[in-house]
Amino acid sequence: MMNLLTCLVLISSIVESQALANYRNIESCLGQNDNRNPVIIDTDADVDDLWAILYLIKVPTVNILAITTVGDGYSSPFFSTSNILSFLGLINCSYGIPVASGQSVPMMSSGWNIDPKILNSIDTYLTSPTCLNQSVDIFLQPSPFEAVELIIFTLKYSSKPVDILVLGPMTNIAEAIIRDRSIVPKIGTIYVSGGQFKSMSAYSSLIPNPKLGTYPYLRKTSDSSDNVFLDVLSVQRVDDSGVRQLVAMPSIVQNQLPTNLTQLNMKLRELNLDLDPFTYKLITSLAKCGNQNESEIFWRVWDNSAAQLMVQMQNNLTNGFCTKIQNVKSLYILSANADQLYGQGISDSPRNAMKINGFSDYKICTETNSDVFLTEFLTRIHSGQLHSCKNSYNDRFDIKLQQCLKKYAFN
C-alpha cells in the first residue's frame, strides 16, 4: 500500500508536470519563430522617447514585443499611454505594437517635481496648435494587460531572453522583478537611458552634508540623472536583482551629442534626405514647443542615443556611434542627507572598495562620434519600413498571449 508521503510526492509531481506542460503549451502557442532581437521598451513618453521608438520600429533586427509606460517621469500619467498610442497612429503603426499602461508613482519619491509647464508642453506636443497640431485617433486603446503584468508574462513565456530598453524611471521594471523574481534569468540586457557614473575621487567629501539639501528634495541634485533621481529606489532594486547585464548611456555622454538644429539640417542636406513634414517637425520642434527658455536652434539627443547603443551592441557593430565602452562597477547611494551622492552611481573601485559590497557591473558608453550618430538616426527614421509594425492586431504579442493563456494556463 502506498504510504501518505509517496502519495503526496506523486500528486505534487503530477501537478508540477502539468504546470510544465501548460508552460510549454503557452510558449509554443505564441509561435515565436522570429530571429530578430526581442525588446520591451519601457518609456515615460517624453518627446525624445518618441524619437527612440520611431527609430527602433524601423530597425530590421529589432522585434518590439511591447511598449510599457510609466507616468512618474517626463509626462503626466494620463498622457503617458495615450501619447504613445497617438504617436503610433500618426506614424501609421496603429494596432501593431501593444502599449501597456503601468506605474505612475515612484517606489520612493525624491520629493522633486518636474515643472508643470514642462510636463504640459510634453503632454500636448503632438496635438497643440502651437506645436505639431496633429489630430489623433482617440479610438486606439492600450493593451488588455497592465504594464508590469505584461513585462512579467512576456519574459516568462518568451522562448529566449528579452532585452529591456528603459527610457524613463525604472518603476515598472523594479515592480515586475519584485512581483516575480523568476523573470530575472529571462531578461537579456537592460539598456538604460541616463544614469550618472562618477569616480569616488570626484567627490570633495563623502561626509553627508545636510546644507546641500535635505530629503525630500525640492530640486534635483547636481549632475544626477533625471530618470534615476525620479525613482532612485527602483534603480537600486533593478541594479541589485542579479540581472545578466546592465548597459547605460550616461546623461553626461548624451550631452556630448549634437545640440543644435544647424548641425541637424546640415546633415540632412549632406545625406540628401528629405524627411516627411511630420517626422521633420517631430524632431525639430523641441525649442518651439517647450517652455524652456532655449534658443530656436536648441536641439538635444537623449533617449534615442540609448536606443542606438542597444542596436549597436545587439549586433556587435564595430563601426557604431559609441566609440568607447567601459566596464564599471556601480552603486546607487540612497543616504537621505548625502545630497551630492543621492541618485548617482560610482564608476570605479575606490581605495576602500574592499570594504564595500553590492557593486553591480555596468557597461557604459563613454565616447561617441556625433557624425556616425546623426547619420544612423536620420537615415533610419527616413526609411519607410516599419519593421516592428508588421503584425495585425490579432497577431500582436499581447493579444496572442491573452488567447494562449485562456487556452492553457487555467486548466
Max CA separation in the chain (angstroms): 86
Near ligand NAG by CB under 6 A: residue from 94, 127, 159, 260? 260
According to CB under 6 A, which residues from 53 to 92 bind ligand NAG? 91-92
What are the phi and psi torsion angles at 50 (to 5°)? -65, -40
Span of 72-80, 94-102, 146-154, 276-284 interacting with ligand NAG by CB under 6 A: 276-284
Interface with ligand NAG includes 357 (CB under 6 A)? no
Distance CA 10, CA 72 (A): 48
Residue 392 Cβ vs ligand NAG, minimum distance, rounded to whole Å: 17
Q: Is 186 exposed, middle or buried (0-12, 13-18, 19+ CB in 10 A)?
A: middle
Interface with ligand NAG includes 204 (CB under 6 A)? no
Distance CA 409, CA 314 (A): 32
Interface with ligand NAG includes 317 (CB under 6 A)? no
Near ligand NAG by CB under 6 A: residue from 16, 276, 296, 371? 276
Near ligand NAG by CB under 6 A: residue from 6, 13, 18, 133? 133
Near ligand NAG by CB under 6 A: residue from 204, 316, 318, 357? 316
- Residues 6 or more apart from 300 whose CB is under 8 A from it? 48, 254, 255, 257, 259, 286
Span of 23-31, 97-105, 200-208, 271-279 interacting with ligand NAG by CB under 6 A: 271-279
Q: Is 210 exposed, middle or buried (0-12, 13-18, 19+ CB in 10 A)?
A: exposed
CB contact burial 7-37 (16+ within 10 A = b; e otherwise): eeeeeeeeeeeeeeebeeebbebbebeeeeb
| Contact present, 295 and 287 (Cβ < 8 Å) | yes
Span of 77-85, 188-196, 258-266, 339-347 interacting with ligand NAG by CB under 6 A: 258-266
Residue 282 Cβ vs ligand NAG, minimum distance, rounded to whole Å: 9
Interface residue list for ligand NAG (CB under 6 A)? 91-92, 129, 133, 260, 262-263, 276, 278-279, 293, 297, 315-316
